[in-house]
Amino acid sequence: MDYIHSSISETHRELVGEIYEEVLQDSETVGLLLQGSVARGESYATSDLDMYILLKDGLVRPFRSEHRRGIHVEMKYSDFETAVNKCRITSMGIYNFLDSMILFDQEGKLRQLIELSKKLYNEYQTPLEERKSTKYWLESALIKIKAAQCAQDDLKANLVVATSSWKILEGVWAVNNKPMPPNGSVLSQLRNIERPDDVEKLINSLLLMILIIKKSVFTLMPVCVEQ
């Protein structure tokens, strides 16, 4: 596992090695892919570990989630045909194979899936109806925010911004004609799209505000439950 990013924790490195050996011993598997922050070399000491296991054609296994050595481990399974179909119809299917690392590829099919995902990503066009829907949603949210600000109701204005946060991000990707990435990949994928110079700073401010609101909600939750 020397080719894995040197920045990842020893626990992650050992877990990847363990799963790698398990997959090699599994007669129904033909490939293993390391995904997520660990594959990108951006993981924290307690980050979850995302693994994608390619099965022989026609085989199916359920998603597995477990804890090993204090690390949350997620293992997704698919055969080649199912993976190809998901790439073609869902953005999640595309992002499964972007910024990933092949650990084992007996038949070369993971390499094919990565190349397909890159092609679909580069050729992606946001559907017109999706653009219109996102535009309307954001314009409506802006009207609410301005109304709250005029009434000096900062709490409501901030709440509307917080509840609109994901739609704002969808808009950023929509105008770039790129599929929306999963939440764990948003910041890493942001560098791959055109954006105003200050948009990353604005997004960081937005996310910090959401964090403050969430902390307030978690503080109030026990009180609400008790009542």
Give the pLDDT score at 160: 86
pLDDT tens digits, one per residue of 29-81: 999 999 999 998 888 889 999 999 999 999 999 999 999 999 999 999 999 99
**pTM to 2 decimals?**
0.82
Separation in Å, CA 33 to CA 77, 97, 145: 10, 8, 43
DSSP collapsed to 3 states, the chain: CCCCCCCCCHHHHHHHHHHHHHHHCCCCEEEEEEEHHHHHCCCCCCCCEEEEEEECCCCCCCCEEEEECCEEEEEEEEEHHHHHHHHHHCHHHHHCCCCCEEEEECCCHHHHHHHHHHHHHHHCCCCHHHHHHHHHHHHHHHHHHHHHHHCCCHHHHHHHHHHCHHHHHHHHHHHCCCCCCCHHHHHHHHCCCCCCCCHHHHHHHHHHHHHHHHHHHHHHHHHHHHC
Which position has the higher pLDDT, 212 or 141? Answer: 141
pLDDT tens digits, one per residue of 143-176: 999 999 999 998 888 888 878 888 888 888 998 9
Q: Nearest to residue 82, comparing CAs of 111, 50, 58, 115? A: 58
User: How many angstroms separate the CA atoms of 169 and 164, rounded?
Assistant: 9
Query: Is residue 218 scored above 60 in pLDDT?
Result: no
Give the pLDDT score at 132: 93
Which range, of 69-83, 122-136, 159-173, 212-226, averages the lowest pLDDT?
212-226
Which range, of 18-22, 94-98, 182-186, averages the lowest pLDDT?
182-186
Give the pLDDT score at 91: 87
Q: Report the pLDDT averaged over residues 81-94.
A: 92
Tokens coding 147: 């109304």
Give the pLDDT score at 224: 47
Looking at every residue in the chain, the average pLDDT score rounds to 86
